[in-house]
Amino acid sequence: MSGTSGSDPFERIPVDDPVVGPSAQVKIARKGRGAVSNLAHRFESVQRVADGEVLPSDGGEEDALPALATSVTLETARSIITRNDSPDIGFDRSINPYRGCEHGCIYCYARPTHSYLNLSPGLDFETRLVAKSNARELLIRELAAPGYAPDVIVVGVNTDAYQPIERELGLTRGILEVLTAARHPFGLVTKSSLVERDLDLISGMAALQLVSVSVSITTLDATLSRILEPRAASPQRRLRTVRTLVAAGVPVRVNVAPIIPFINEPEIEAIVEAAAAAGASDAHYTVVRLPWEVSPLFEQWLQAHFPDRAQRVMNRIREMRGGRNYDAQFGRRMTGAGTWAELIAQRFRRVTTRHGFTDVRPSLRLDLFAPPRPLAPQLDLF
């Protein structure tokens, strides 16, 4: 898994190489994967490029790149609740049971976190996953700590807690069992229908005003969805999940996120209309963010799938980011700035107002929390 291993079969593309930059290469997309390269992470000192003599040259079906298998490494984590003080986020703590995400969303702002594992934010992020095998035990310990004060924990912020490997590993299910037993408020963010599996826990917590769910719907076009987020549930399946959750009494917010100019931006109104028809109680949006390695990966993806409009897309993104690919400033990083950003905001406000949406997270109760009993080898005296 090291970036210097000679046996690594993945191509490495330097992040800042002026010769081998995103605009200079037309990559071939792999079926079922979002990124079209394994570009080198920003900390890697040794760069490699694939031998052009052994790669397909014309991108035809007969030259399609082989599928990449997904591997999972089990990790014994040291902590499970992550804290943040960002003014752009409406919560201060979250849980991510997995590192990397098999959904393969090309726009995922969490991709650069794989660099800290000495792995690429490209294909490695989608195929070399890490699972926090002791998540349940850690959560019990942290909730039982003296002085712990409850507040909403959002599960699945960086990477989807219901990505495909959850079916086998069940880490998210274990986390929800702990939170339910402790009557601790939580939120879920997902684009997977697998969340329906845990409806027995979620609906019970909803009845106590202890949970809300956000379902991300980026497009209603199944073909676009397959290249934007290749291993996530289809748009229609996600709408069915919204209906199922709402029928069980769960408050559901739809995330129209991220909005990408000339890609899914024309669908803003249609997505909100579909969300309202499915019973969602609110909707939220963000504009595409391209921090660190996400920027060159996204440009490679554009060249592979939308070469006819790639330049127009990037020009609009830069227009909303002060002439750069990304602006990390609080207050602007989620929505952008300038004329185009304001037009998007106006369109979103207009359609959400029509359906009574307010873009306000539901208030969850904190007064029912009962700290779990910490795990200990010694039995209680009484």
Check residue 67 and give its pLDDT.
78
With a CB cutoff of 8 Å and minimum separation 6, the contacts of 46 are: 3, 4
Strand partners, 215: 190, 254
Check residue 197 and give its pLDDT.
98
* Number of neighbours of residue 6 by Cβ within 10 angstroms: 7
Provide the angle, in degrees to the nearest 10, between the axes of the packed helices 235-247 and 199-207.
Answer: 50
Mean pLDDT per 10-residue section of the chain, whose length is 382 residues:
34 39 58 90 59 41 67 98 87 96 97 95 97 98 96 96 98 98 98 98 98 98 97 98 98 98 98 98 97 97 97 98 94 94 98 94 95 66 45
Check residue 47 and give its pLDDT.
54
- Topology annotation, domain 22-354: TIM Barrel (3.20.20)
Check residue 131 and give its pLDDT.
98
Q: Is 165:98 a contact under the CB 8 Å cutoff?
A: yes
Check residue 1 and give its pLDDT.
35
Q: How many CA atoms, within 13 angstroms, populate the side-chain half-sphere of residue 110?
A: 18
Q: Is 280:252 a contact under the CB 8 Å cutoff?
A: yes
Q: Coil, strand or helix: which one is 347? A: helix
- Domain segments of the chain: what residues? 22-354
